[in-house]
Structures are given as C-alpha cells and as structure tokens.
Amino acid sequence: MTAYIAGIYEHPTRFAPDKSVSALHAEVASGVLKDAGLSLRDIDGYFCAGDAPGIGPMSMVEYLGIHPRYVDSTDIGGGSPIAQVAEAARAIDEGKCDIALITLAGRPRAEGQSPATLTRFREYPENEFELHFSPALVSRYAMCAQRHMHEYGTTSEQLAWIRVAASHHAQHNPNALHRNPVSVNDVISSPLISDPLHRLDCCVVSDGGGAVIVVREEIARSLKQPLVSLKGAGVALGYKLGVPFDITASVGIESGSAAYLEAGVSPSDIRYLSTYDSFTITVLMAIEDLGFCSKGAGGQFVSDGSLISGNGSLAVNTDGGGLCNNHPAHRGGITKIIEAVRQLRGEAHPAVQLPDLALAMVHGTGGTLDQRQGCATIILERE
C-alpha cells in the first residue's frame, strides 16, 4: 500500500452542550481540510463508524455535502479510525478513490453517557447470555488487570506510572481535559472503581472528535504538509467462544505482527507509540503484545517514568492520551493517529517532541480485553 496522511485535526472542545454530533463531524471535517489545503469538492472517499449519526456514510455524505466515489463504515469500536486508514490506503491503491476523509465525533459528556453501560446493549447477540451477570466495562478491564497481577506480579504502583506519564505530557497540551501532573500516590489514593483499577486508572469522558485525510502519493507531494506515509498495517479480531483463554493478552499480538511484517521493521525501530488507553491496563498489555517487552514484563517496562518523552526508549501518548487529554465518543482511535502525525511532522509541543523521529506506531483496541475485541495497528513514516 502507498498512501499518505495529508491532513489531521483534533476538535479543541471537550464539552459541547450546544452542538449536535453531526455538527461536530462537520467541524472536524472543515478543520482537516484546512490543515491539508483541500476543499470539500476534492473528497472522493469517506469513512466513518458507529459514532456517526444516521445511516452510516449515507447520511453523513449528504450532511457534509460531499460526493464520494467510495464509502466505508468499518467498525471495530475505538480502533475503527486506525483500521480505516488501512482501508483507505487499500481503496486508493485499487483506484476507488484518491482523497479519503475519515471523521469521528461524539458528545457523551454533554449527554451524560456513562462508559459503564457500553457493553450492555440488548441488541448485541452475546448479551442474551451475558446481561444476566450485569457486566460493566471497568470491571471487565479490572479482571484483566487482576489476572495480570496474579500471573506476573504486576502492581498498582506500576499501573499508576502510566497515568503519571500521561499527566506529565498533558500539562503541555492546552486542550487537555486534565492538565495537572499527578504522582503514583495520587493515582493509588484515588477512589477504587473496580479492584484493582482506581479512578485515575480510567480514561476521561469527553466530547469533540477528530479527522484525518488519506491521499494518493502524487497528491500528497503537491500539498503543503510534510510527507507522512503508511508503511504497514494490521487488523485482527478476537473472541473467546467459551473455551479457556488468556485475558492477559490481546489480538494486538496479531495486528502488531502484521504491521511489522508489512513495514519491514521491528519494535526496536519504534521510538514513539500512540496506543489506546481506555484504562492503564490497556496500555500495559498493548506494550507487551506489540513486542516492546516480553509478556509479563510490562510492569517493569512502564515504571519510573519510562514512558515520558525523553526518559526512556519508548515515548507513549505525548498529547496526554485518553487518560488525560481526550476520548471523544468513547472512541479514542482518531486522537492516536493525530498525535503520531504531529510527532512525525515535528508539530508536537517542544517539551514532548521527539527529535528526528522517522517512524511512529499507532494502535487501537475496540470491544473489551476479556471477551470479544478488535485491534488495529499502523506504522507511519516521515520522509
């Protein structure tokens, strides 16, 4: 695949009581077009997921006033935009479109939506069997964390370092929802939500959104932004089928392996990782599954500020991530792409910008780590 990310935009709001979800999609579309130096009439491919209102792309293309040759509504939850970058690149390679727009937006904070009920919709086929047990999102991730602690000796203090790193980065982001740096003690002293996860182990609930534009190579070279290309991608789905399984691992092992193989690189080549951080355990498991350390060694890997830009071998979520910055529509994948591109362009805040960065990895998780899940991984390169 040969495609380039020519535009990025993250909505600055984190609370939008005066806007509709469709208006937020339109505003991020406007912002990304300005960043890329393009107009609505240039868009001939459009990608959205379940956060978009209406009948998927059919409603949104009319609302946005675009006339695409190709549309896609791939949905694997929070990692959808990351998977859609790969899908857009494939569509471009096959000549189905030249300039693809990906949007994500929502307003769960304004609408008072709790992430606790995200896995409890009655129309989900599995819930005919699972709703009787009243599963909540945080308790499902807490179970993974508890098992990881049992198997490998991981501690709450080690998980807390992930939030500490996020807060260290967020203090430099004027739009971040939580900008105050926190300590390990702050995290483990915050209220226990579901043992062993504390309040500060959990991501924010925020309104807003973001957008990305993926284009053909010759178009990217004609535009104003630095060249950031898609070097490798992988998408994997996992489900348990009622058999014994390991809840300390995810299908990120498969999506990451596919991305490395296509890109022709290894974990040692990656210095920056934008990864899904719905909870601190989500980050720790991703770091292991993507091969930055062995399974069970994640606790030690993330300790002592090693994820802070400039401190260790791997900087993670330098915008503050979903833990501190933004998790729009309960789907944080779009912000992971945006910050990775910022890093590759050299546009991140000077306090967190990695010098001479050539490669960045973006990883997203949808569903839940204890049951059915979808992971998407892409590797981006700055020319």
The partner residues of 379 in beta bridges, in order of sequence, read: 232, 361
Tokens of 74: 């791939």
Identify the CATH number of the domain in which residue 153 sits: 3.40.47.10
Please report how many Cα atoms fall inside a 13 Å half-sphere around the Cα of residue 375, on the Cβ side. 30
Q: Is the pLDDT of residue 236 over 90?
A: yes
pLDDT in tens, 128-177: 666 655 567 898 899 999 999 999 999 999 999 999 999 999 999 999 99
Mean pLDDT of 104-123: 76
Three-state DSSP state, 99:
strand
CA distance 344 to 295: 28
Inside any domain, residue 290:
yes
Q: Which of 222, 249, 279 is the last residue of a domain?
A: 222
Whether residue 161 sits in one domain with residue 58: no
CA distance 351 to 339: 14
Backbone angle region of 77, left / alpha / beta, with phi > 0 → left and psi within -120 to 50 → alpha: left
Task: Name residue 13's amino acid.
Answer: T
Whether residue 374 sits in one domain with residue 239: yes
Whether residue 194 sits in one domain with residue 291: yes
Whether residue 325 sits in one domain with residue 181: yes
Task: Give the contacts of 5 (CB within 8 A, at least 6 positions apart).
Answer: 85, 212, 213, 214, 215, 228, 229, 230, 337, 341, 380
Q: Is the pLDDT of residue 122 over 70?
A: no
Whether residue 314 sits in one domain with residue 179: yes
Q: Which of 156, 188, 222 is the last residue of a domain?
A: 222
| Tally of domains in the chain | 2
Is the CB of residue 315 less than 8 Å from the CB of residue 273? yes
Inside any domain, residue 124:
no
pLDDT in tens, 275-296: 999 999 999 999 999 999 999 9
Q: Is the pLDDT of residue 375 over 70?
A: yes
Inside any domain, residue 173:
yes
Q: Which of 178, 194, 222 is the last residue of a domain?
A: 222
CA distance 121 to 124: 6
Of 209 and 129, more confident? 209
Is the CB of residue 133 less than 8 Å from the CB of residue 188? no
Whether residue 215 sits in one domain with residue 182: no
CA distance 376 to 254: 9
Inside any domain, residue 264:
yes
Whether residue 319 sits in one domain with residue 192: yes
Distant-in-sequence contacts of 14-17, Cβ < 8 A, 24+ apart: 14/109, 14/175, 14/177, 14/204, 14/206, 14/207, 14/208, 14/326, 15/109, 15/110, 15/206, 15/207, 16/107, 16/109, 16/110, 16/207, 16/208, 17/107, 17/110
Whether residue 160 sits in one domain with residue 36: no
Whether residue 185 sits in one domain with residue 42: no
Domain that holds residue 320: 138-203+227-382
User: Confidence band (pLDDT; 50, 70, 90) for 113?
Assistant: confident
Tokens of 379: 């590797």
Task: Give the contacts of 282 (CB within 8 A, at least 6 positions apart).
Answer: 141, 275, 276, 365, 369
Burial class (CB in 10 A: 0-12, 13-18, 19+), 17: exposed
User: Confidence band (pLDDT; 50, 70, 90) for 112?
Assistant: confident
Q: Is the pLDDT of residue 369 over 90?
A: no
Inside any domain, residue 364:
yes
Inside any domain, residue 132:
no
CA distance 282 to 121: 22
Backbone angle region of 37, left / alpha / beta, with phi > 0 → left and psi within -120 to 50 → alpha: left
Inside any domain, residue 239:
yes
Inside any domain, residue 123:
no
Whether residue 253 sits in one domain with residue 212: no
Whether residue 157 sits in one domain with residue 65: no
| Structure-token match 């910050």, residue found | 339
Whether residue 261 sits in one domain with residue 159: yes
What are the backbone dihedrals phi and psi of residue 163, each rounded to the nearest 5 degrees, phi first? Answer: -70, -35
CA distance 153 to 175: 36
What are the backbone dihedrals phi and psi of residue 320, each rounded to the nearest 5 degrees, phi first? Answer: 105, -15
Q: What angle do CA 124, 286, 230 make, to 5 degrees?
A: 90
Q: Determine if the pTM surpasses 0.85.
A: yes
